[in-house]
Amino acid sequence: MSETIKGYVHSIETLGAVDGPGLRFVLFLQGCPLRCKFCHNPDTWRFEGGEEYTVDEMVKKILRYRTYIASGGVTISGGEPLRQAEFVLAVIRALHEEGIHVAVDTSGVYCEGTALEAAMEADLILLDIKSFDPAKAKALTGFTTDHAYHLLRARQEAKKPVWIRHVMVPGITLIDKDENGKPFEKEEDWRSANTELIEGLRSLNEYSCIERIDLLPFHKMGEFKYEELKLPYELKETEEPSEEVVEWAEKALAEIRPAKSE
């Protein structure tokens, strides 16, 4: 069966250090229905393309790095990996037979049938919460966050761990300037303007399955890809958040989840 199930791979990182615990083999799959304005990998959006692998071929490739990823495991990312749910599920099960920890980095946009089965099979879910406001999430990505919370609730019921990822996009999911367009000088003014972010983070406390929350500052490292693909880059004029604002956000998070933000 594993010889006939095929996946389409955009790229591979053999020693990733930011996609789950420990050193990890990171598998980026091709294809994603979301159109996140802040996405730094728009080259993964297309459903066609990518290098074809059978499950057996991929697992054999991963096992070559077994010694190096002993402290971590494998993370399946994208694109949106659960679009290729049958492949992901088969890879997870094969790696579990080898005693390897598997994480899936997902938006949760596919959260039914085989996709949900694959998500629940994973040892860890890295779940992207695009915005704490459903309307903003849809404007930012093309989808609301209903699917993400559906997956989060499923993991909660199963008592399986989740790490939350939230990108702080100035002017959208993070307010870093006052009404006159000037950067905030005082932390209390920043907090008053960011009640949506702070209360959104606080609302996650009801989920005991959440082990960690990562606040990811918006960056433009993938801007050149939009030019190469002849795609419009809608955040061209958006500035990356200042170190001070990022520190304020991290401080707010630590106050909300002092034991779980490490």
In tens, the pLDDT along 183-238 reads: 999 999 999 999 999 999 999 999 999 999 999 999 998 899 999 999 999 999 99
For domain 6-256, give the fold.
TIM Barrel (3.20.20)
Domain ranges of the chain: 6-256
What local confidence, expressed as pLDDT, does residue 260 receive? 45
Q: Strand, helix or coil at 48? A: coil
Mean pLDDT for 6-17 is 95
* Closest CA relative to residue 119, chosen from 96, 99, 103: 103
CA distance 173 to 136: 8
Whether residue 261 is predicted with pLDDT greater than 90 in this model: the reply is: no
Place of tokens 């994480």: 103
* Closest CA relative to residue 162, chosen from 219, 112, 131, 123: 123
What local confidence, expressed as pLDDT, does residue 258 receive? 77
First to last CA, the chain: 41
CA distance 241 to 219: 8
Q: What is the pTM of this model?
A: 0.94
Whether residue 60 is predicted with pLDDT greater than 90 in this model: the reply is: yes
Q: Are 54 and 3 in contact (CB under 8 A)?
A: yes
